[in-house]
Amino acid sequence: MTITAAEFMAKTPRKGGERVSRLRPYETEILALREKGYSYSQIRDFLLQNGVSVVTETVVSFIKRAKPSGGAEPSEDGAGQ
């Protein structure tokens, strides 16, 4: 007997739920720093000083997801550090 993916999902709860970013507690501060012109690398340094070790690409991705759409994000030097 086979079942469809929809049937499987209906009877089987997903494990783990939704992932929450380690950066979420700093979202307001991260966006404020970016709005004030701080680079992604500088924001990464701010997070490191708060005990959160991430690579610059993580900061870039987080900001892209967290920012309300509509505003163009300026290009960033050092995003690959």
Name the token pair of 67. 């920012």
pLDDT tens over the chain, length 81 residues: 799 999 888 888 877 766 778 999 999 999 999 999 999 999 999 999 999 999 999 999 999 999 876 555 555 544 444
pTM above 0.85, yes or no: no
DSSP string, 13-81: PPSS-S---TTGGGHHHHHHHHHTT--HHHHHHHHHHTT----HHHHHHHHHHHSPTTSPPPP-TTTT-
- Nearest-angstrom CA–CA distance, 79 and 81: 6
Domain locations in the chain as residue ranges: 22-66
